[in-house]
């Protein structure tokens, strides 16, 4: 009897905590509405199943408790019950998957006016790349990765020369501007995750994944790696700043381009080869 009461209290407590919980989602990005709706649908389906299973267990514990002289009835199979369980499970799984497919379609359908930003993950730091004045990102490949070119931009691609490189600093987003986030990894699988945006995706070595969102609230938010990437995984953190256009543009103007960052490296290489300052000019 005590076990049955405890099981029933677990269900009641879980339902009460859900409705009185102080932790609720906040609308920090455009994606939050349809993503949260899908999560709520999943919660209701799984929550209903959880409550039904636990309450059924409580009923069984009480109804079929040990009694002197009673014997258990042996029933090896019940086709009717198995059919209902199979149908109910199929309907529940379909109800959870169908909204997810709709959400996924919206998640990767990028608006035509979206800006682009590339996020590069490597053990164990984040780096970022934004288009320069030409509005396009240049080509990149792990073949070009060197200490002087850590993101692997193609030095022979003219479009890459004006690309803006952000390392060791927060990534900034313009408030109300749709953004297509391109995700690339230089070593192992990472996952670029801003919890408040509730938007994330794995970064697969050798390929580029992407999603988009529109920041709708200013502030500074933490970036986490949501995929275990070896010993330094807990320390792979960063930050994003959402700000108005008046504040975003001055920050953007202060950043260095690939060409500007490459000049010291080229000068150093030429100096090591014995080239004079006159020749360098």
- Per-residue pLDDT reduced to its tens digit, 128-185: 999 988 888 888 888 888 888 888 898 888 888 888 999 888 999 999 999 999 999 9
84 phi/psi in degrees, rounded to 5 = -65, -40
pLDDT of 69-100, one tens digit each? 778 777 888 888 899 989 988 988 888 888 88
Rounded Cα distance between 251 and 246, Å, is 9
Specify which residues 238 forms β-bridges with: 223
Contact present, 226 and 193 (Cβ < 8 Å)? yes
| Number of neighbours of residue 175 by Cβ within 10 angstroms | 17
Q: What is the pLDDT of residues 12-60, one digit of tens each?
A: 888 888 888 777 767 677 777 788 888 888 888 888 888 988 998 888 8
Query: Using omega within 30 degrees of 0 as the cis cutoff, is the peptide bond preceding 6 cis?
Result: no
CB atoms within 10 A of CB 190: 28
CA-CA distance, 228 to 208, in Å (whole number)? 19
Assessment of whether the complete model's pTM goes beyond 0.85: no
């Amino acid at each position: 009897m005590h076990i049955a009461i405890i099981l029933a209290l677990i269900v009641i407590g879980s339902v009460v905590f859900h409705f009185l919980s102080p932790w609720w989602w906040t609308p920090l990005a455009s994606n939050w509405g349809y993503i949260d709706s899908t999560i709520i649908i999943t919660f209701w389906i799984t929550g209903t199943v959880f409550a039904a299973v636990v309450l059924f267990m409580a009923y069984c514990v009480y109804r079929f408790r040990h009694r002197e002289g009673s014997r258990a009835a042996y029933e090896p199979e019940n086709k009717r019950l198995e059919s209902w369980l199979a149908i109910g499970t199929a309907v529940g799984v379909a109800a959870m998957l169908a909204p997810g497919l709709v959400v996924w379609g919206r998640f990767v359908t990028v608006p035509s006016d979206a800006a682009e930003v590339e996020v590069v993950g490597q053990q164990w730091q984040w780096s970022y790349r934004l288009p320069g004045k030409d509005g396009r990102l240049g080509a990149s490949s792990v073949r070009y990765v060197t200490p002087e070119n850590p993101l692997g931009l193609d030095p022979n691609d003219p479009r890459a020369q004006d690309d803006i490189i952000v390392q060791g600093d927060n990534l900034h987003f313009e408030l109300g501007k749709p953004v297509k986030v391109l995700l690339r990894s230089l070593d192992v699988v990472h996952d670029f995750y801003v919890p408040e945006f509730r938007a994330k995706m794995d970064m697969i070595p050798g390929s580029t994944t992407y999603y988009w969102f529109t920041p709708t609230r200013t502030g500074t938010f933490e970036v986490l790696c949501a995929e275990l990437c070896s010993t330094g995984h807990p320390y792979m953190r960063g930050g994003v700043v959402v700000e108005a256009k008046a504040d975003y543009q001055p920050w953007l103007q202060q950043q260095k381009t690939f060409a500007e960052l490459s000049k010291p490296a080229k000068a150093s290489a030429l100096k090591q080869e014995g080239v004079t300052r006159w020749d360098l000019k």
